[in-house]
Amino acid sequence: MQGGWRACGPRLWLRHVDKRVKVKTRRQEHRGWLLSVDPVSASLVLVNLVESRASVCVVMGHAVEEVELLQDGGGETGEHIWSFLNPTPPCSLDAKQTRRKRVAVCSWLRKNRIPVEEVEEEVRVAGVLTIKAPYRSEDCSSSNQVILDRVQRLLRAHQEHAEAQDSD
């Protein structure tokens, strides 16, 4: 796509997310896995994984002249990249506590009319958000910022509710 990256719009941008791309600007060329595209500025967030480290590069949308798809990443590429950027500390809960917490979180979300399903050790919300053990607001991941924010607020409220009951 020549010269019209900003004009292409979010639908086309999303097709490039989690794929290896080459981005040309007037003076430079950048390569990396496209992690995200800012919907307002069309800026790209590229990630390169080198020896168990991740380097992040932001290419400003106004400078992009061309974006070329180099490699399709498959479904797990995005999760793999996010795991480098946001490593989760090991969970200190035992299996029984983890299950109890997962059930409580699912119940709370359903009470707030949020569609949830349990998939093994994860909680999935509306098919677009995942909550991993120990099921706190910071254990959520989603590319949908609106849903992510809403569910995180609900989980923080749930935590406050649980702490208030424990202190009674």
Report the half-sphere exposure of 54 (CA within 13 A, side-chain side): 17
Helices and strands (DSSP H and E) totals, the chain: 5, 9
Query: In total, how many domains does the chain have?
Result: 2
CATH of residue 78: 2.30.30.100
Q: In this structure, are 79 and 100 located in the same domain?
A: no
Exposed e or buried b for every residue in 17-51, given b needs 16+ CB within 10 A?
bbbbbebbeeeeebebbbbbbeeeebbbbbbeeee
Same domain, 122 and 70: no
Do 112 and 80 share a structural domain?
A: no
Mean pLDDT on 160-165: 80
Query: Which of 85, 108, 140 corresponds to the end of one domain?
Result: 85
Task: Grade residue 9 by pLDDT with cuts at 50, 70 and 90.
Answer: confident
CB atoms within 10 A of CB 88: 13
Of residues 6 and 2, more confidently modeled: 6
Largest CA distance in the chain: 64
Residue 24 has pLDDT above 80, yes or no: yes
The average pLDDT across 76-91 equals 62
Task: Tell me: do 78 and 101 sit in the same domain.
Answer: no
**Is 90 inside any structural domain?**
no
Q: Please check whether residues 17 and 73 belong to one and the same domain.
A: yes
pLDDT band at 56 (very low <50, low <70, confident <90, very high): confident
Kindly report which listed range (9-23, 28-42, 67-81, 149-163) carries the lowest average pLDDT score.
67-81
**Structural domain that includes position 158:** 95-167
Question: Do 70 and 119 belong together in one domain?
Answer: no
Percent of the chain as helix, strand, coil, to the nearest 5: 40, 30, 30
Domain identity same for 16 and 77: yes
Verify that 109 and 159 share a domain, yes or no.
Answer: yes
Does the pLDDT value for residue 168 go beyond 60? yes
Q: Is residue 66 part of a domain?
A: yes
